[in-house]
Structure formats: structure tokens, C-alpha cells
A and B are shown apart, each in its own frame.
Chain A
Amino acid sequence: MKFNIDDLPVLFPYPRIYPEQYAYMCDLKRTLDAGGHCVLEMPSGTGKTVSLLSLIIAYQQYYPEHRKLIYCSRTMSEIEKALAELKALMKYREEQLGRSEEFRGLGLTSRKNLCIHPSVRREKSGAIVDARCRSLTAGFVKEKKERGEDVANLDLLEPHNLIPNGVWTLDGIMRYGEEHKQCPYFTSRRMMSFCNVIIYSYHYLLDPKIADRVSKELSKDCIVVFDEAHNIDNVCIESLSTDITEDSLRKATRGAQNLENKIMQMKDTDADKLKNEYAKLVEGLRDAGDARDEDAFMANPALPDDLLKEAVPGNIRRAEHFVAFLKRFVEYLKTRMKVRQVISETPPSFLAHLKEYTFIEKKPLRFCAERLTSLVRTLELTNIEDYQPLQDVATFATLVATYEKGFLLILEPYETDTAEVPNPVLHFTCLDAAIAIKPVFERFSSVIITSGTLSPLEMYPKMLGFTTVVQESYSMTLARRSFLPMIVTRGADQIPMSSGFQVRNEAGVVGNYGRLLTEFAKLTPDGLVVFFPSYLYMESIISMWQGMGILDEIWKYKLILVETPDAQETSLALETYRTACCNGRGAILLCVARGKVSEGIDFDHQYGRAVLCIGVPFQYTESRILKARLEFLRETYRIRENDFLSFDAMRHAAQCLGRVLRGKDDYGVMVLADRRFLKKRNQLPKWINQALVEGEVNLSTDMAAGAAKKFLRSMAQPFKASDQEGISTWSLRDLERFKEKQEEEAIRALQEESANAGDTMQGIREGNEAVVNEVAVGNAADEFDDDELEAEMMQMGGG
């Protein structure tokens, strides 16, 4: 399907388009034209990815700037889906245009997923693959090879030539790599600056350690898209937070010891190298030759700009001094870990204490991470994984010395409040999501944040510290009411249902939840998904149900499967669940609202006909880290604790509900079972909230069951694709008609405006003339208005 948005010709790879897709594309284009950031919420299952890709690629190919697209998604499967979508789109474009465009699209993932080395690829852990790969490909290994020293076969791993045009899925590039004996990972990395579309994970852009290596050379006018971005603030925070344990400190000490030995060795054999490094450090971190000019690279939150302009402080310039410095710091941390009470302190007070006891100043601490990298490079170390803990400590040191605000150190000596054996963890938590993402917003002119559930939209710009040009939430156009959201607030016995802390373990409440589940197990065909607020609560409620005999009752209707924290067990449960849904009476999957299942796993069609959200999925509010973050949000962004908590709970609830509806021909029941949802219904995404009829917000179990039964019966009626035509799906003709109408309206609005303007002008001009005249003009205006009204009425009648 081919159509124009303003002057931009868009090729859409399907014969039909949804109205909201069209609106989405229009807003996207508006954002790109205006050059700013936007937040867009689009209902799940309405083809967000394909509309995104087709518009941006049309934009890219039509305008001479050829702005690059960086598409970030969350999981591997989503990345692969996007790549496949892109490939299909490009194929369609080629057919339509009759020529293949100069175009290259690539996906990037970890070394582990992209390795073709015969022995390395067999390693299980990603860290080991990384380390082994580095030992084969690092710069100095290559140098040695050139000098004729015996090094493992590099040819296999180094790209000789670049890959041809086209879209390369991860599988595709692996195959190509195997055929041509070139490393897919490095091919992708090298080709990043030459391709039009890059699809990779958030971390490549947000995690400062990775972004510095992978993404910093991307040009300024790139279009950055964060898909499934409802959790982006958490990703930002995680990328800057570190946890330090006693074990990691032990390893760090060992790493420092190793470094010291290596330095000694090198002093004996190759003192020149150390001297060279020293000389370079005297100059500054980056030598004057490739001084970072402001535009070339993206800023790195872990390595602020002013650091690069300065030279490394004198007291860590020499390698041995630096190692002693690190040792002292690690030793200090070890001592701090011995404390047996909870401590939470700000970076400045930590630094003051540190200075008092170890005479470590703030400034050398800031250079710590960079200095360590330089040292490791000089020493030509290959077994990087041994130094990982030390690297972590160094990163921690740099961050703690760089940011006074937005971070907090929390030392928890015991894992739980009741534990006797200490297992201290030093959490260095980032409280401000804006820090990690700031360079992205600063560097790239258009950043698009989109997901199925982003409500309330204004929360994200607030938390991430940016301004939007477009901020939109789309409703879902439906030919029939294909999903039924309900809020169930009480059981059949009128006892209110809630997972609130005071009542959650009362037999009445648990029993009511059990009966709700039984009802739905009876009436739902195929799959039923149930979400609990936490693993803990799920376990306790299941054991109570067992005692009440509720599980036995449910067994009669459906198979019961449970999600566990273990990924493998869960995937097995999922597989069984799917099999059960395809054969026989279906199954119930009990899972957790913040678990793996709630994000990224779709229950389309028979896999999910109903979803039950038992309780509001609040976070564990006793967590010290969460408390600190709430405090910070209130202090800096004026977001009240309860607002944030309920926002966070509702986005997870909405995410859970969205799992069940994956397209317009899909249908499902959505049940929110908690009294507290009543007040929070405005925080649901627009598309869910609109479908929530007033009569279905305060139901008891039996009423809900009745409504669901009726709904499912109506859904069982035959429903042809042609019924949707013109309403929820548009053919090209519908689209054109819509556009015409829109234009007409725009013209009319303009006319009205000009007419009004004309009136006033006339009034001014003729103001001096006789009163009679004025009255006449007034009459004329009235007449005109009437005419227009009539015309409008006619149109409505005709429509």
C-alpha cells in the first residue's frame, strides 16, 4: 500500500492499515520534521514496529540527509522480530520501486550470540566468550602476529571485507560469516557506521561502559527509537548502579595483586612500555592528536567531559602508585563492609570519611576507571575476566567521585531482616534515571520513546529530564468490542477483595480470589493467565488454596502451571502451557507481574483468552533502595511517593493486561481484581480505559462471571475480516477518503478563520459609516453562519 503523508511517500507492506497506525505515522513525521523528542503510546498488537519502520525508512530514503535509524529494543526475541519485519518491509519496497535501494540494516548482539569460532562458541557463559574473544582479537595480539609471532588463527575472526547491501537478520549474518570466514560480531561492529538501520538492545546505548565502546561514534542526526520503553527508567538506573559484595572485593584484591606482579614483570622485561604510558598520561588522557572534539563522540556519564581535558593526577600516574592506590581503596571498602548495621550515606559523606581514613582525594578517584583501562591496555592483559571485579570497583570509584547528587550508598549487612549470618552488600544505587540517558538526549536530535503502556505520559519526560514536541496516546479502533476489561472489587459474598498488606492473608479474601479463579476457569475457553504481585504472595496464596480445596476444584477444568524465578523451569512450564492450550481444555498459568512472563511473552489467540490480575502489583516498599529513590523523586522532581508507586504498579498491571490482546482479530477478557483499582483506573492506558464501561468497574465475582460469559458468547459468533473494513482497518480507498475529509475540514477551518478575520477587518473599515450599514453587515455574517451550519448538517446526514 502506498500513500503520502504531506509530501512524503510511504510504502506500507500490507494492503490494509489501521487508523491508529496512520495517526501514529503522522505524529512520527511531525516529530522528525520538528526535530525533537516524543513519547507515543500505541495499543499493543496494533503493528507499532512496522509503522515505525515503514515511516522512518520512507523518511530516510526520501530526504537527502539519510538520517540513520537506531532502533533499540529490550529482548533478543524482540530484536529478531524487528529485523524480520524490516526485512519484509525492504522486500516490499524493492518490489514496489522496482529497484533495490542503497540500504543496509544490521542487528547487533553479544559476542556469545554471534561467535563462529569453532571452540570459543561452545563456551556457555557470555563473560568467558567475551574474554576469549578479546584474547584472540585485541590490538596487541594482532601486532604480535604482524611481527611473525605465533598466535591463534586470526583470519577466521577478522573481517576482510564488508558485507553487501541488504537487511541482515542475526541468523543471516551468522550464515554469511560462516561462508566467508569472517566474524559476524566484528562485521556488525565495523559496519555500524555504514548502515542505515541498526537494531540492538538498550544497553548498547544506555550502559556507559558499553556505549562508550559501541555507540559513541554515531552521528548526531540519528533517529533513536526506544521500543517497549515503559521500563526505560529502570534500565537507566540499573546501568549506573553497582553492588559490591565481600566476594567481589576479595577478587578485586586478587586482581590488584596480579596487576602488581605484572607490573613488576614488565619493569624487568619491557620497561619502555610503562614509560611510554607514563609520558602519555603526563599529557592528558587523550593525547592532543585525537582530542575529543565536542561533536565526534557521545558523552559518557561515567567519564565526564572535563575529565578528558585534564591530565591524570600525579599521584596515580605511575603504575605502581596506582595499584597501591587501588589496594588502599579496596581495603577501605572491606573495612566498611564489616559494619553490622545498615548505613545509607551520600557520596560526599562517603568521600569525606574515605579521605579521613585513607587520604584518598576525590580527584584521583574520578580518574580511577580510565586509569585502570589504560594500565590494562599497557600491560596487554588478555584474561580480562580476572580483572572484572577490579574494574567494577574502579567504575564505582569514578561514579562516586563524580556525582554528588542522584546517587546513594546503602550498606546492608544482612540479606533479610531476620538473617543471622552476615552477607554484606554495598549497594551503590543510582536514583536519577536522567543521568544515564542524558547523553542520548543531548546528542541525538530525535529520540522516540514508544510502548503499549506509557500512561501517564507526562511521567516519563519528568523522570528522564527531557522535553517533548509530541506526546500522544492512541485509542484502539475496533469494529466489535474485542476485549472486555473489568474491575472486580468484591466476592460474591460482598467482602471486598484486596491484596493490601493488612488483609491479604485473610481467609475470606483468599477464598474470594480462589472462587474468582474457579469461575473463570469454568467459563474461559483455552488459556487463562493469572498475575500475582509477587512470588512470595503467590506461594502463600497457592498453599492456602490447596488447604481450602480450591485447587482441586480448578483441576477439574484446567491444568495448572506456575512460573518460578528459575528461567528454565519457567520456559518448560510455558511450553507445557502452550501445548495444553492447543489440545484439550486448556490451562492456567500462574505468574508474577514483574516476572519474565509479564514482559515480552505474548499470549495471543487461544493462548490467552482471559487474564486475571490478582492484586495491585506494587513494588516491595520496604526495600531501602526503593525508599531512597522515592525520597529522591520527591525532592528533585516533585513526584509524590504514592503517585510514583501507583504509576509503577499500574504500568505493570497494564503490561500484564496487554499480554492477552495481540491484534485486532484477537479477543480476551481482562480482569483487575482488587478494590484499589477503582481509584487508579485513570492511570490505565487510554485504550484500555476507554473500553472500560462504567457498568463494569465495580463488580462482584458473580457479576463479572456473567459479563464475561456474555462477552465470550458474542465473541464466538463468526466474524469476517470484511466486517472490520473501513472501521478498524483501512484500505487505500478508506485512507484517501479520510484524508480528503481531513483536508476539507482543514480548509473549512481556514475559511472560517479568514471569514472571521474578514468580518473584523470590515468592521474596522466601516466602523465610521452609518449604523444601518453595520447592522447589514451583522446580518450578512449571521446568514453566512447559518449557511455553514446547514452545510455541516447536510454532510452529517450524508455520512
Chain B
Amino acid sequence: MCSTCVDRIFTSGPTSCPVPHCGKTLRKKGFHKAFFGDLKVEREVDIRKRVGEVFNRRQDEFETLLDWNNYLEEVESLVFDLVEGTQKEKAEAEQKLRAYRTMNLRDIEENRKAGLEEADQERRREDEEKEAAKRRRLETLREEQEAKLDVEKSRRDVLERMANTDEDPNIISQQAQKVILKKSSARRKMADTATESNGSARDPNLTIRGLKKKIAPVLEKPYDPFGGIDLAPSRYALQDHYDNEWLAGAKNDARHMAGGYSLKEYYARTMFEAFSGLGVFIEEEVVNRGPPVTSPAVATAAAAEASGGRIKLGHKMELDDVF
């Protein structure tokens, strides 16, 4: 649609779509100039923009490269479905998009901010570089001009001296030549040292390509009263739910749960009690007092065996983190 038509139809507020049997309500705000010549690509990019706002995870959020790549592919497939899929596929993709948005609202917002900040930094850095280059250029220009002026001036001096004194003109001109040479070489030397001292960016040996970007300083964390001690259990993972016949009754019983009783609390305490003391070896602490009865390794093995019944409950039981 041409811009005059858009103006004509939509100036007085939202109206229904002019295409017959469409019936959608459109606003003027929704129209924009096409950037691409190919409208298909334009549409794709629009969709991409929408998807990109939602699926904006960053690579450092993923543990492995493979995961990151899989994520990328998934997103790409989603876009593809939206662009070229059948009606059904499109609807499904839309659904997925919406679901993801509602699920990860906070992450999305955070990543958006981080992205903006990064772009901003990049821009600032670029501007700075440009500024520096400009400064250097002006500097060299000025130097050249100065040199030219100097030469001019000394030439004038020579002429004057020739006119006003009765020294041998040859000697005068020779002297002048020497002075000019000395000056220019001094200037060059100065310029060299100047650039050496400050122009590290210009020195080919000091510019390093492909430097990893500096990690932005981590935001200050809220005060941690435990001083960084990780209270999460390291020997087991607490599950949301454990199969247990005598707890099943309690869980489904409104009388137990009504008062705000949480089974989670119970699980946590039970698990803690079951595991506490594991990995603490009296022998080890006694070692200073006398020779150990068994070696720590045997003790570990024994402990592992003893706790064998419970291991199935806990997901990760690390046997060798003891030492």
C-alpha cells in the first residue's frame, strides 16, 4: 500500500482492513516503510524481530556449545514455521512463542537490558576510536604545516642575511641548510618518540586481533550473611516428590495440608538428617592422635556402601569429593 493511501484511510484512527473479507482492525502505527526490496524477506525479518525479542538467550547462559547450537536451531525452526509453515504449523508456533514468553518473562527482560548495554558500549568504543584517529590526523597535519612554515622562515632569514650582511652567501646558505636538516630530523625524532609513548594502538606489534571482549564488571551482589557458604546440599538433590506409602496418605489428606503444612519441609529435614555426618571421618580427625585403623579410602568405600540404600533417592552422590 502506498503511503498516501495509508494516510487517507487511517488518519482518523483504527479502521478495518481495506482488503475485502479480511475484517481485521488496523492502525496507522502498524504500518512502516519496507526496508527490503523483497517483501517476503521483509515479512520474515518482521517475524524475526518478534521472535528475537522473546527468544533472546545468550550463549553464556548455556553450559555447552552443543546446547547453545541446539537452542539456536530450535529458534530458527520456529521462525521457519512462522514464515513458511502451513496454517496449523503457524498456529502451533505462535502458541509456543506465547507460552515461552509467559514462562520466561524475567529472563527475557534481563537479557534485553544486557543486549542494549552491550550495543551501547560497542558504540561508545567505536566513537572513541574514531575520535582518536581524528585527533591523530589533525596532529600530523599540524606538524606538517609547522615544518613547512619553519622552512619558509629560515629561507626568509637567509635572504635577509644575504642582503644585510656581507658574509659569503655560500656559507650562509650552507649553514641554513644544516639548520633545516637538524630541525626536521629533531622533529621527526620527537614525533617518533611521541607516537611510541602514547600510540600503542598504532604499533602493529601491540595491537592484538581477536582479543576476547572484557567481561563487564559483575553487578554488586546483595549482602550474603553466610559469607558465600553454599547451603544447598551437595550430596543429594532434593526432589519435589518422594514415593512413600505412609506419606502419600498425608499428602492427599486435607486435614494435614490445610494448616499450611508443607511436605517439602519434611523431605528436606529428613534428607538432611539422613546425610548429615556423611563425609565426616572421625579417623581422619583422630589421625594426629594415633595411627588410623583403616585408610580413608576404605572408610569412604565403606561409607558409600553403608549409604547405598539411600543413594537411589539422591540423584548425585559424589564419592570422591571427600578429598
Do A and B pair up? The answer is: yes
Interface set of A (CB-CB < 8 Å, partner B): 282, 304, 306, 310-318, 320-321, 324, 327-328, 331-332, 334-335, 338, 346, 348-349, 352, 357-359, 403-405, 434, 465, 631, 634-638, 640
Q: How far is the CB of A461 from chain B (nearest CB, A)?
A: 11
Known: A310-B65, A637-B204. A331 touches B195 (CB 8 A): no
Contact partner, B72, options A306, A315, A334, Cβ 8 Å = A315
Do the beta carbons of A315 and B122 come within 8 Å of each other? no
Do the beta carbons of A282 and B76 come within 8 Å of each other? no
Instruction: Please report the C-alpha to C-alpha distance between residue A314 and residue B83 in the assembled complex, in whole angstroms.
Output: 18
Do the beta carbons of B69 and A313 come within 8 Å of each other? yes
Q: How far is the CB of A486 from chain B (nearest CB, A)?
A: 25
Do the beta carbons of B66 and A331 come within 8 Å of each other? no
Do the beta carbons of A357 and B80 come within 8 Å of each other? no
Q: How far is the CB of B45 from chain A (nearest CB, A)?
A: 6
Instruction: Please report the C-alpha to C-alpha distance between residue A499 and residue B38 in the assembled complex, in whole angstroms.
Output: 50
Do the beta carbons of A328 and B195 come within 8 Å of each other? no
Which residues does chain A contribute within 8 Å of B36, judged by CB atoms? 331-332, 334-335
B70 at the interface (CB under 8 A from A): yes
Interface set of B (CB-CB < 8 Å, partner A): 35-38, 41, 44-45, 48-49, 52, 65-66, 68-77, 80, 83, 119, 122-123, 126, 133, 136-137, 140, 195, 199, 201-204, 207, 209-210
Instruction: Please report the C-alpha to C-alpha distance between residue A333 and residue B37 in the assembled complex, in whole angstroms.
Output: 10
Which residues does chain B contribute within 8 Å of A306, judged by CB atoms? 210
Contact partner, A327, options B41, B49, B77, B80, Cβ 8 Å = B41
Most buried by B among A311, A314, A357, A631: A314
Which chain A residue shows the least CB distance to B83?
A324
Task: Jot down 13 A-B pairs with beta carbons below 8 A, ordered by A.
Answer: A311-B66, A312-B69, A313-B72, A314-B70, A314-B76, A315-B75, A320-B80, A328-B44, A331-B41, A338-B37, A346-B126, A434-B204, A637-B204
Do the beta carbons of B49 and A317 come within 8 Å of each other? no
Q: How far is the CB of A199 from chain B (nearest CB, A)?
A: 32
Could you count the A-B residue pairs with CB atoms below 8 Å apart for me: how many are there?
Answer: 90
Do the beta carbons of A314 and B68 come within 8 Å of each other? yes
Instruction: Please report the C-alpha to C-alpha distance between residue A704 and residue B38 in the assembled complex, in whole angstroms.
Output: 67
Q: How far is the CB of A402 from chain B (nearest CB, A)?
A: 9
Known: A331-B38, A335-B37, A348-B122. A317 touches B45 (CB 8 A): no
Which residues does chain A contribute within 8 Å of B119, judged by CB atoms? 352
Give 7 closest A-B pairs by Cβ, nearest first: A314-B72, A314-B69, A314-B73, A315-B76, A315-B72, A331-B41, A359-B48
Most buried by B among A315, A318, A335, A636: A315
Known: A465-B204, A635-B202. A324 touches B209 (CB 8 A): no
Do the beta carbons of A638 and B195 come within 8 Å of each other? yes
Which residues does chain A contribute within 8 Å of B199, judged by CB atoms? 638
Do the beta carbons of B140 and A634 come within 8 Å of each other? yes
Contact partner, A358, options B45, B70, B203, Cβ 8 Å = B45
Interface contacts beyond A315-B72, A317-B69, A405-B209: sample of 12 additional A-B pairs, CB < 8 Å, sorted by A: A313-B72, A314-B70, A314-B73, A320-B80, A321-B73, A332-B36, A349-B126, A359-B48, A359-B49, A405-B207, A465-B204, A640-B140
Which residues does chain B contribute within 8 Å of A631, judged by CB atoms? 133, 137
Do the beta carbons of B126 and A318 come within 8 Å of each other? no
Q: How far is the CB of B113 from chain A (nearest CB, A)?
A: 17
Instruction: Please report the C-alpha to C-alpha distance between residue A574 and residue B201 in the assembled complex, in whole angstroms.
Output: 49
Known: A311-B69, A314-B76. A403 touches B126 (CB 8 A): no
Instruction: Please report the C-alpha to C-alpha distance between residue A324 and residue B83 in the assembled complex, in whole angstroms.
Output: 11
Describe B's contact surface by its main secondary structure: helix
Which chain A residue shows the least CB distance to B72?
A314
Do the beta carbons of A331 and B37 come within 8 Å of each other? yes
Do the beta carbons of B45 and A359 come within 8 Å of each other? yes
Which chain A residue shows the least CB distance to B41?
A331
Do the beta carbons of A324 and B44 come within 8 Å of each other? yes
Do the beta carbons of A635 and B209 come within 8 Å of each other? no
Q: How far is the CB of A627 from chain B (nearest CB, A)?
A: 12
Do the beta carbons of A318 and B76 come within 8 Å of each other? yes
Instruction: Please report the C-alpha to C-alpha distance between residue A349 and residue B136 in the assembled complex, in whole angstroms.
Output: 21
Q: How far is the CB of B322 from chain A (nearest CB, A)?
A: 34
Which residues does chain A contribute within 8 Å of B123, judged by CB atoms? 352
Which residues does chain A contribute within 8 Å of B44, judged by CB atoms? 324, 328
Do the beta carbons of B69 and A321 come within 8 Å of each other? no
Q: How far is the CB of B234 from chain A (nearest CB, A)?
A: 32
Which residues does chain B contribute within 8 Å of A403, judged by CB atoms? 209
Q: How far is the CB of B313 from chain A (nearest CB, A)?
A: 35
Known: A324-B80, A331-B36, A332-B36. A311 touches B65 (CB 8 A): yes
Do the beta carbons of A357 and B35 come within 8 Å of each other? yes
Do the beta carbons of A321 and B37 come within 8 Å of each other? no
Do the beta carbons of B75 and A636 come within 8 Å of each other? no
Which residues does chain B contribute within 8 Å of A282, judged by CB atoms? 66, 69
Contact partner, B136, options A315, A359, A635, Cβ 8 Å = A635
Which residues does chain B contribute within 8 Å of A338, judged by CB atoms? 37
Q: How far is the CB of A41 from chain B (nearest CB, A)?
A: 23
Which residues does chain B contribute within 8 Å of A310, judged by CB atoms? 65
Instruction: Please report the C-alpha to C-alpha distance between residue A321 and residue B70 in the assembled complex, in whole angstroms.
Output: 13
Do the beta carbons of A317 and B73 come within 8 Å of each other? yes
Which residues does chain B contribute within 8 Å of A359, judged by CB atoms? 45, 48-49, 52
Which chain A residue shows the least CB distance to B67?
A314
Which chain A residue shows the least CB distance to B49?
A359
Instruction: Please report the C-alpha to C-alpha distance between residue A311 and residue B67 in the assembled complex, in whole angstroms.
Output: 11
Instruction: Please report the C-alpha to C-alpha distance between residue A331 and residue B37 in the assembled complex, in whole angstroms.
Output: 7
Q: How far is the CB of A324 from chain B (nearest CB, A)?
A: 7
Instruction: Please report the C-alpha to C-alpha distance between residue A645 and residue B40 in the assembled complex, in whole angstroms.
Output: 48
Which chain A residue shows the least CB distance to B136?
A635
Instruction: Please report the C-alpha to C-alpha distance between residue A315 and residue B74 in the assembled complex, in whole angstroms.
Output: 8
Which residues does chain B contribute within 8 Å of A320, judged by CB atoms? 80
Instruction: Please report the C-alpha to C-alpha distance between residue A425 and residue B140 in the assembled complex, in whole angstroms.
Output: 32
Do the beta carbons of B126 and A348 come within 8 Å of each other? yes
Which residues does chain B contribute within 8 Å of A316, judged by CB atoms? 76
Do the beta carbons of B45 and A328 come within 8 Å of each other? yes
Contact partner, A357, options B45, B76, B133, Cβ 8 Å = B45
Instruction: Please report the C-alpha to C-alpha distance between residue A679 and residue B201 in the assembled complex, in whole angstroms.
Output: 32
Which residues does chain A contribute within 8 Å of B71, judged by CB atoms? 314
Do the beta carbons of A318 and B37 come within 8 Å of each other? no
Q: How far is the CB of B15 from chain A (nearest CB, A)?
A: 29
Q: How far is the CB of B35 from chain A (nearest CB, A)?
A: 6
Q: How far is the CB of A728 from chain B (nearest CB, A)?
A: 37
Instruction: Please report the C-alpha to C-alpha distance between residue A311 and residue B73 in the assembled complex, in whole angstroms.
Output: 13
Do the beta carbons of A636 and B69 come within 8 Å of each other? no
Do the beta carbons of B41 and A636 come within 8 Å of each other? no
Which chain A residue shows the least CB distance to B65?
A311
Instruction: Please report the C-alpha to C-alpha distance between residue A404 and residue B126 in the assembled complex, in whole angstroms.
Output: 11
Instruction: Please report the C-alpha to C-alpha distance between residue A358 and residue B52 in the assembled complex, in whole angstroms.
Output: 11
Do the beta carbons of B76 and A321 come within 8 Å of each other? yes
Contact partner, A636, options B37, B73, B204, Cβ 8 Å = B204
Which residues does chain A contribute within 8 Å of B126, judged by CB atoms? 346, 348-349
Q: How far is the CB of A304 from chain B (nearest CB, A)?
A: 8
Which residues does chain A contribute within 8 Å of B207, judged by CB atoms? 405, 636
Contact partner, B202, options A349, A404, A638, Cβ 8 Å = A638
Instruction: Please report the C-alpha to C-alpha distance between residue A444 and residue B204 in the assembled complex, in whole angstroms.
Output: 21
Q: How far is the CB of B321 from chain A (nearest CB, A)?
A: 30
Instruction: Please report the C-alpha to C-alpha distance between residue A349 and residue B126 in the assembled complex, in whole angstroms.
Output: 8
Which residues does chain A contribute within 8 Å of B73, judged by CB atoms? 314-315, 317-318, 321
Instruction: Please report the C-alpha to C-alpha distance between residue A348 and residue B75 in the assembled complex, in whole angstroms.
Output: 25
Q: How far is the CB of A611 from chain B (nearest CB, A)?
A: 33
Which residues does chain A contribute within 8 Å of B80, judged by CB atoms? 320-321, 324
Instruction: Please report the C-alpha to C-alpha distance between residue A358 and residue B209 in the assembled complex, in whole angstroms.
Output: 26
Known: A311-B66, A315-B75, A638-B202. A334 touches B209 (CB 8 A): no
Which residues does chain B contribute within 8 Å of A324, judged by CB atoms? 44, 80, 83
Which chain B residue shows the least CB distance to A636?
B204
Q: How far is the CB of B141 from chain A (nearest CB, A)?
A: 11
Instruction: Please report the C-alpha to C-alpha distance between residue A405 and residue B133 in the assembled complex, in whole angstroms.
Output: 14
Which chain B residue shows the least CB distance to A349?
B126
Instruction: Please report the C-alpha to C-alpha distance between residue A434 and residue B38 in the assembled complex, in whole angstroms.
Output: 39
Instruction: Please report the C-alpha to C-alpha distance between residue A515 and residue B73 in the assembled complex, in whole angstroms.
Output: 74
Which residues does chain A contribute within 8 Å of B41, judged by CB atoms? 327-328, 331
Which chain B residue shows the least CB distance to A359?
B48
